[in-house]
Amino acid sequence: MLKVLLWILASIPSLDLCFLIFFEKLGANPQETLLRHLGTWTLVMLILTYSLPIIARIGVNKILSCRRMLGLWTFFYGSMHFLSFLFFENEMVLALFIEDLISRPFVTFGFFSFALLIPLALTSNKFSIKLLGKYWKKIHWLINPIVLMSIIHYFLHRTGKADFLEPFIALAIVLVVYVSKKLFTYKNFS
Ligand code: HEM
């Protein structure tokens, strides 16, 4: 039941986007709205997936069974965000993308956090867990640098506008989750 509910909730931003596109309600700069919308939801899904062990710890144990599903939704929104960037800002030209990757640090951080999501998405299944054994945990530890680089991407994106409220909120949530994880691990071993 929880899985179905979370699946429906996770799909709402994409349905909302389809609605906005269909009724031409994306505003004066539709490409920018689309890109930002997808970036925001990639980050929300990422932080939610990152927080699942803590949410489970504070009582909602069943939520851990939704980890794979939420991880895949993160990857879905990330892929759409990346593809819309390639399409709208680079016209799908590799040379233009490489130029951006080198010259715009916020694109560099965004790209590497997305690139690291790929092995996580590919190994989010029972077969890979069995096959990779202890290496599976090592690969999925990558969520830490992914979250960190995404937050840096968010801050760098906002430097032009000098508006850091939402990036600071995201950072505060991530820090609370990170410290809580460390505290729980420490408690378990002491
Ligand atoms: C895990 C990966 C990523 C996350 C979590 C993420 C997250 C975000 C967030 C939260 C925003 C700001 C939205 C807002 O201000 O409302 C954003 C903007 C943006 N991101 Fe990403 N991003 C990721 C990957 C990428 C990649 C791979 C690229 C391109 C190579 C990219 C390009 C952009 C661009 C161009 C914007 C600015 C849109 C604009 O203001 O016109 N991002 N991203």
Quote the distance between the C-alpha of residue 100 and its chain's center: 21
The predicted structure's pLDDT at residue 190: 55
Total count of domains within the chain: 1
Q: Are 25 and 85 in contact (CB under 8 A)?
A: no
The single-letter code of the amino acid at 144 is: N
**φ/ψ of residue 50, rounded to 5:** -65, -30
Q: What pLDDT sits at residue 186? A: 73
Q: Please give all residues whose beta carbon lies within 6 A of any atom in ligand 1, as ranges.
A: 32, 35-36, 39-40, 42-43, 46, 78, 81-82, 85, 89, 107, 110-111, 113-114, 117, 150, 153-154, 157
* Residue ranges for the chain with pLDDT beneath 50: none
| One-letter identity of residue 32 | E
C-beta of residue 43 within 8 angstroms of C-beta of residue 154: yes
> Cα 157 to the chain's mean position, in Å?
15
Which pLDDT value is given to residue 160?
87
- Expressed in angstroms and rounded, the spacing between residue 110 Cα and the centre of ligand 1 is 6
Instruction: Quote the pLDDT of residue 46.
Output: 98
Q: Name the residue with the closest Cα to ligand 1, atom 5.
A: 43
- Terminus-to-terminus CA distance in the chain, angstroms? 36
The DSSP symbol for 25 reads -
Query: In this structure, what DSSP letter does residue 68 have?
Result: H
Range of the domain at 164: 2-189
**Cα-based distances in Å from 153 to 53, 139, 170, 172:** 24, 22, 12, 15
CA of 106 to the centre of ligand 1 (A): 8
Spacing, Cα 164 to ligand 1 middle (Å)? 14
Q: What is the pLDDT of residue 185?
A: 79
**Tokens 């830490």 correspond to what residue?**
144
Ligand 1, atom 6, residue with closest C-alpha: 39
